[in-house]
């Protein structure tokens, strides 16, 4: 399969067997070791329905050598080229009995180091001392996200569902999409596989119905230099 073409045409692609069983078990071990000993950390969010670690690659940097194995490095370079760096990472753990769901949306914000007046950067927010802003769509169009699946994810335990090719429409309001004429795909991914998607792809997640856990490492990438002294707050160069 030509994954570059599928990402361009549909806004996403799924690739199996990127990680071995041993690599997944090592990632789980590293994550569990940190989460058990740092329950008061403010970048950790825990509820009955969701456990999340923001700035994941900074909180558990030991995972990076396992995440960026030869398979993933080859996929990134062959699909997008060189020069990309991490701009954001989040670990999601959707527990077995989770009733948490996410409505259809586009990923419109980026994390930056400070708030300042910059042309065409708008809708500023701050959460846990982290500034977020909506950049010009040209920046979002060039970025991509990789979701690493630590558990097999199906339609019954909250797999992402997407509106195919919706990334090509630019920034739009969900009510302006005609669902009658759109194609929806449920993105089931096997343990050790990845999903690559574009930020402007409309995506959502249903509630878990089969009491099976779903753990995902979500990493966003860019190669864009931000203007006027603004900088990516989580920028980490690896490749």
Q: What is the pLDDT of residues 98-155, one digit of tens each?
A: 666 789 999 999 999 999 999 999 999 998 778 999 999 999 999 999 999 999 999 9
Reply yes or no on whether the pLDDT at 47 is more than 70: no
Tell me if 233 is assigned to some domain: no
Which residues, in sequence order, are CB contacts of 236 under 8 Å at separation 6+? 57, 58, 85, 86
Q: Could you give the number of structural domains in the chain? A: 1
Reply yes or no on whether the pLDDT at 49 is more than 80: no
Q: What is the pLDDT of residue 42?
A: 55
Backbone angles phi, psi at 81, to 5 degrees: 95, -165
Q: What is the pLDDT of residue 208?
A: 81
d(CA 94, CA 5): 31
Tell me if 230 is assigned to some domain: no
Mean pLDDT along residues 20-46: 79
Mean pLDDT along residues 231-237: 95
Per-residue confidence band for 38, with pLDDT thresholds at 50, 70 and 90:
low
Q: What is the pLDDT of residue 41?
A: 58
Tell me if 46 is assigned to some domain: yes
Tell me if 236 is assigned to some domain: no
What is the layout of strands, in order, in the sheet containing 102-105?
102-105, 203-205, 160-163, 184-186
pLDDT more than 90, % of the chain:
73
Per-residue confidence band for 187, with pLDDT thresholds at 50, 70 and 90:
very high
Quick check: 211 and 96 in contact, CB under 8 A?
Answer: yes
We report the CATH number of the domain holding residue 178 as 2.60.120.620
Tell me if 239 is assigned to some domain: no
Reply yes or no on whether the pLDDT at 177 is more than 80: yes
Range(s) of the domain holding residue 97: 3-222
Quick check: 189 and 153 in contact, CB under 8 A?
Answer: yes
Q: What is the pTM of this model?
A: 0.93
Per-residue confidence band for 75, with pLDDT thresholds at 50, 70 and 90:
very high
Per-residue confidence band for 212, with pLDDT thresholds at 50, 70 and 90:
confident
Tell me if 106 is assigned to some domain: yes
pLDDT-wise least confident of 46-50, 66-70, 143-147: 46-50
Tell me if 128 is assigned to some domain: yes
Per-residue confidence band for 57, with pLDDT thresholds at 50, 70 and 90:
very high
Average pLDDT, rounded, for the chain: 91
Which residues, in sequence order, are CB contacts of 127 under 8 Å at separation 6+? none
Q: What is the pLDDT of residue 46?
A: 56
Reply yes or no on whether the pLDDT at 36 is more than 80: no
Residue 36, Cβ density class (10 Å: 0-12 exposed, 13-18 middle, ≥19 buried): exposed
List the structure tokens of 199. Answer: 């930020």
Tell me if 234 is assigned to some domain: no
Q: What is the pLDDT of residue 150?
A: 96
């Amino acid at each position: 399969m030509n994954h570059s073409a599928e990402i361009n045409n549909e806004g996403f692609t799924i690739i199996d067997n990127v990680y071995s069983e041993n690599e997944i078990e090592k990632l789980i071990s590293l994550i569990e070791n940190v989460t058990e000993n740092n329950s008061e950390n403010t970048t950790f969010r825990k509820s009955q329905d969701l456990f999340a670690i923001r700035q994941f690659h900074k909180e558990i940097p030991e995972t990076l050598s396992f995440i960026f194995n030869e398979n993933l490095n080859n996929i990134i370079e062959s699909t997008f080229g060189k020069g990309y760096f991490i701009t954001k990472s989040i670990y999601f753990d959707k527990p077995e009995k989770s009733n948490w769901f996410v409505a259809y949306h586009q990923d419109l914000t980026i994390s930056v180091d400070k708030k300042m007046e910059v042309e065409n950067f708008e809708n500023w927010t701050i959460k846990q001392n982290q500034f977020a802003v909506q950049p010009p769509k040209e920046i979002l169009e060039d970025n991509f996200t990789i979701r690493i699946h630590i558990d097999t994810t199906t339609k019954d335990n909250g797999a992402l569902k997407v509106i195919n090719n919706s990334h090509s429409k630019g920034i739009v309001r969900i009510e302006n999409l005609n669902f009658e004429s759109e194609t929806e795909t449920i993105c089931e991914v096997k343990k050790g596989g990845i999903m690559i998607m574009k930020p402007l792809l409309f995506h959502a997640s249903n509630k878990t119905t089969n009491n099976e856990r779903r753990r995902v490492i979500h990493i966003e990438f860019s190669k864009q230099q931000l203007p006027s002294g603004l900088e990516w707050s989580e920028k980490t160069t690896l490749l």
